[in-house]
Amino acid sequence: MAGPPVSTTDHGTGPGPVPARAGIGLRHPHVQQFLDAPPATGWVEVHSENYMAAGGLRLSALERIRRDLPVSCHGVGLSLGSAEGLDDAHLAALARLFERIEPGLVSEHVSWSVSGGVYYNDLLPLPLTEEALGVFCRNVDRAQEAFGRRILVENPSTYLDFAASRIPEPEFIAEIARRTGCGLLLDANNIHVSAHNRGFDAGAYLAALPLAAVGEIHIAGHARRSIGGETVLIDDHGSRVVAPVWRLLDAALARTGPVPVLVEWDTDIPALEVLLAEAAQAEAAIRRAAAPPATARTRSAAHAA
Amino acid sequence: MLRDLQTQMARSLLEDFKAPPPEGLVAGDAARAAARFMIHRGNVIESLVNALGHSFPAVKAVAGDGNFRVLAAAYVRVSPPPKPQLLSYGATFPEFVGGHAAAMRDFPFLADLARLEWAMSEAYYADEAPALAPETLGAVAPERLPALHLSLHPAARLCVSEFPIHAIWQAASAGGTAPDPALAPGAPQGEAVLVARPSGPVEAWKLAPGESAFLGAVAAGAPLENALAEAFAAEAGFDLAAALAALLSRGVFGAEVSFDPTLNGGVA
């Protein structure tokens, strides 16, 4: 039987490429457990903005954890979709953080959060227009130049459309990757949530994404809320991954081959063991994707760059 | 234009929950689009209120969850974050609380409590820097001591209140409930609190009047001679050796010392 192209050690090997294995988000309630003994996870992801401090315990904890595990920095505040452009100070602060942490992956969202210099702390939807595409690509170019590296951008979870939208969303994202050379952080839960809320076919959406550019996959749970007499799926990252999202993960991995998969859990954070159990399931999905074709085995190296 | 759309949408996010959504959104019909936009309005207000609750847990415990949410949501609407780092969000919240008549009528110490909690937040994220070693101080020739300038460590903060703010903070932090109302009104004993993180976690200690005056003078840039005079003025029995030992053990001073050239002892 062919061995999987993934590491068989319990944990990763410190700073460097994020392996094509399952990872979990590093969340405050679990930090002490990470410091006591690195848990069996291939890598961790952090929200970049939570570590943009001059010093302190949180940052020093991450600096210790990164000696044992590769780190991915996932941003929530750069606002790549803002027409007013990117904030110089924020770009510089992120660049300093990346210099310090040396993340294996850096990612952001296909959305906006800043207008008039105010940060709204939500991932707001973009109208899918030529103008927005131009704005987004200019901002990605600028970020990649400031960081001196390629970034990944994540497909959004959405509740709304815009009357002005002209470009199908997967095409919009594919065009971003094509014009800027950035990669795609494929969020399987976001596809499921948006497909339900906006009434499109998740499988067709997935197939239309630029899957060759996928550098990481996110999976997460969501909430079901009754709004105006109908069920709306809310992307709250507060529960276990549901079956249709696991199926989307399999479908994505079948096309991309093994890539890093992150279990995101940001609200109602459970015991570390629960996260690790979800990650073990993701790890099994990565191994299944790795098993049949021998050609898939080199993909982890290609995507780690 | 995208910029106009974002300006309009952003403004609408901070409006009252009953306000109509911005134009140009589609989700079937208008009512549905409005309901969907409310998800974003809720995300913005709720997440920022929660961020404030995280930075000001004692204020939240004293005011009660419902009151705190009203207070924090009002603050979010007038002072949304100027930076995409929630670590630095809330710097002006103490001032806002101080200007909130109803909150201050019920809890006159609430703004000072918020100031103390903000000092603790700042201390948590402050720069790493070595603290002054007792040996460095011990090596200073006695005749040069009057001109000695101490500096504060980046994580050290002094909070002075006319209320027993340390006791209020302890009670609110321990029980998660409002402190004894007897502490609030009347003419209670004021307290000074020192915030620092000598070994990692942020700690807060109540200071004696002499220590508080001494540290306040040092923070304002006074040389040791003047800081000592302030300390004695505040507390006749001030014990410099004991105070310095306590402050040094809490990592309150920066590692570098300097001397005032205009004072006796300033020139070697």
Among A58, A131, A160, beta carbon nearest to B25: A160
Among A53, A76, A198, beta carbon nearest to B125: A53
pTM, two decimals, is: 0.91
The arithmetic mean of pLDDT across residues B99-111, rounded, is 94
For B208-265, how does the pLDDT look when each residue is reduced to its tens digit (9 = 90+)?
999 999 999 999 999 999 999 999 999 999 999 999 999 999 999 999 999 998 887 6
- Are B24 and A58 within 8 A, CB to CB? no
Among B2, B7, B81, beta carbon nearest to A135: B2
The answer, yes or no, to whether residue A163 has pLDDT greater than 70, is yes
CA distance B119 to B195: 7
- Are B6 and A115 within 8 A, CB to CB? yes
Chain B residues touching A122 at Cβ < 8 A: 13, 40, 43-44, 47
* B207 against A305, higher pLDDT: B207
- Are A228 and B80 within 8 A, CB to CB? no
- Residue A268 makes CB contacts below 8 A (sequence gap 6+) with A238, A239
Is residue B218 within 8 A of residue B227, CB to CB? The reply is yes
CA distance B164 to B166: 6
The answer, yes or no, to whether residue A111 has pLDDT greater than 60, is yes
Taking the CB of residue A196, how many other CB atoms lie within 10 A of it? 17
CA dihedral B148, B151, B156, B158 (to 10 degrees): 60
Helix H or strand E segment including A249: helix A243-256
Diameter of chain B by CA atoms? 83
pLDDT score of B179:
53
Among A49, A55, A79, beta carbon nearest to B128: A55
B192: β partners: B160, B207
Cβ–Cβ contact B78 with A under 8 A: no
Cβ–Cβ contact B153 with A under 8 A: no
Test the B interface: residue of A122, A161, A172, A224 with most B CBs within 10 Å: A122
The average confidence (pLDDT) of chain B is 92
Cβ–Cβ contact A88 with B under 8 A: no
- Among residues B36, B5, B47, B89, which one has the least CA distance to residue A82? B5
The answer, yes or no, to whether residue A181 has pLDDT greater than 80, is yes
The Cα of A67 is separated from the nearest Cα of chain B by a number of Å equal to 19
Strands, E, within chain A: which ranges?
A: 22-25, 44-47, 71-74, 105-109, 112-115, 118-124, 152-154, 161-162, 183-187, 214-220, 223-227, 230-234, 261-264
A6 pLDDT band (50/70/90 cuts)?
very low
pLDDT score of B6:
98
Nearest chain B residue to A48 by CA: give it. B85
The domains found in chain A, sorted by start residue, are 22-304 (3.20.20.150)
In chain A, which among 241-300 make CB contacts under 8 A with chain B?
A: none
Angle at the Cα of A205 from the Cα atoms of A199 and A207, rounded to 5 degrees: 155
The answer, yes or no, to whether residue A96 has pLDDT greater than 70, is yes
For B112-126, how does the pLDDT look when each residue is reduced to its tens digit (9 = 90+)?
999 999 999 999 999
Chain B residues touching A227 at Cβ < 8 A: 35-36, 38-39
Cβ–Cβ contact A32 with B under 8 A: no
Is residue B223 within 8 A of residue B149, CB to CB? The reply is yes
pLDDT score of A228:
85
Tokens representing A146? 């400031």
- Among residues B211, B61, B193, which one has the least CA distance to residue B119? B193
Is residue B258 within 8 A of residue B149, CB to CB? The reply is yes
The arithmetic mean of pLDDT across residues A178-199, rounded, is 98
A7 pLDDT band (50/70/90 cuts)?
very low
Sorted by where each begins, the domain ranges of chain B are 1-107, 127-268
CA distance A119 to A89: 14
- Are B43 and A122 within 8 A, CB to CB? yes
- Among residues B102, B97, B105, B99, which one has the least CA distance to residue B52? B97
The arithmetic mean of pLDDT across residues A170-196, rounded, is 98
The answer, yes or no, to whether residue A253 has pLDDT greater than 50, is yes
The answer, yes or no, to whether residue A5 has pLDDT greater than 50, is no
The average confidence (pLDDT) of chain A is 92
